[in-house]
Amino acid sequence: MEAKRIRAPLTDADVMGLKAGDNVLISGVIYAARDAAHKKLVELLEKKEALPFDLKGQFIYYVGPTPAKPGQVIGSAGPTTSGRMDSYTPKILENGIKAVIGKGSRSAATVQAFQDYKGIYLAATGGAGALLAKTIKEAEIVAYPELGPEAIRCLVVEDFPATVINDAYGNDLYEEGRRQYVVK
């Protein structure tokens, strides 16, 4: 199956054009943020304070990269387990984020939020950090440098490969894949 090419900012129509199981290649800007950064972002949203970047139509990638070696843009940079972000994701989607990238299953409330706010959940190959780093062309810390690997980074990617897991229609690739291959 031909991969669909997508880039930020995503519109509702872009999201509705993607289905669980679709392979995508992402180019352009994505924001790296994981556990500690999500906690801070949601605290700012609850206090209605200014955010370090505009969420509208953007991607968040759950990643905490290794330090760049001399000559590298970024170190190894594969996805971390997404479930830990479940308590924050509905709030993040409500405020404009359209796509989140990680690995592993999401809670029922988060899956519902992808439908309610027209968002998608994408998985990249967990443990392929050296390979995925090759698609990252620029990386810059935009907030919370004190968090080290958990700082928010603005990444510019080219043909970053991912697969749609949860779409805005309520489909779930993990459940469908498992149903297809389970041996009873």
Partner 1 sequence: MREIDMAVVSATVAEICKEANYYLGEDVIGAFKKGLAEEVSPVGREVFKQLLENARIAREEEVPMCQDTGTAVLFVELGQNVRLVGGDFNEALNAGVRRGYTEGYLRKSIVKDPLQRINSGDNTPAVVHLQIVPGDQIKITLAPKGGGSENMSALKMLTPSQGSKGLVDFVVETVSRAGSNPCPPVVVGVGFGGNFEKVAYLAKKALLRPLGQPNRDPFYADLEKEMLEQINKTGVGPQGFGGRFTALAVHIESYPCHIASMPAAVNINCHASRHAERVI
When asked if residue 49 is in the footprint of partner 1 (CB under 8 A), the reply is: no
From 9-17, 45-53, 92-100, 103-111, span contacting partner 1 (CB under 8 A): 103-111
Q: How far apart are CA 56 and CA 48, in angstroms?
A: 15
When asked if residue 174 is in the footprint of partner 1 (CB under 8 A), the reply is: yes
Q: Is 140 a catalytic residue?
A: no
Q: How far apart are CA 163 and CA 94, in angstroms?
A: 22
Task: Decide: residue 117, CB within 10 A, 0-12 exposed, 13-18 middle, 19+ buried.
Answer: buried
From 3-11, 42-50, 87-95, 125-133, span contacting partner 1 (CB under 8 A): 125-133
Active-site choice (8, 18, 37, 38)? 38
What single DSSP character describes residue 69? P
Whose CA is closest to 154, among 170, 136, 168, 167?
136
From 2-10, 65-73, 85-93, 110-118, span contacting partner 1 (CB under 8 A): 65-73
Residue from 6, 61, 80, 118 that binds partner 1 (CB under 8 A)? 80
- Which residue's entry shows tokens 């469908």? 176
Q: How far apart are CA 125 and CA 80, in angstroms?
A: 10
Task: Give catalytic residues, as residue numbers.
Answer: 38
Query: Which residues of the shown chain bind partner 1 in the complex (CB under 8 A)?
Result: 36, 63-69, 72, 75-78, 80-81, 83, 103-105, 123, 125-131, 133-134, 147-150, 163, 173-174, 176-184
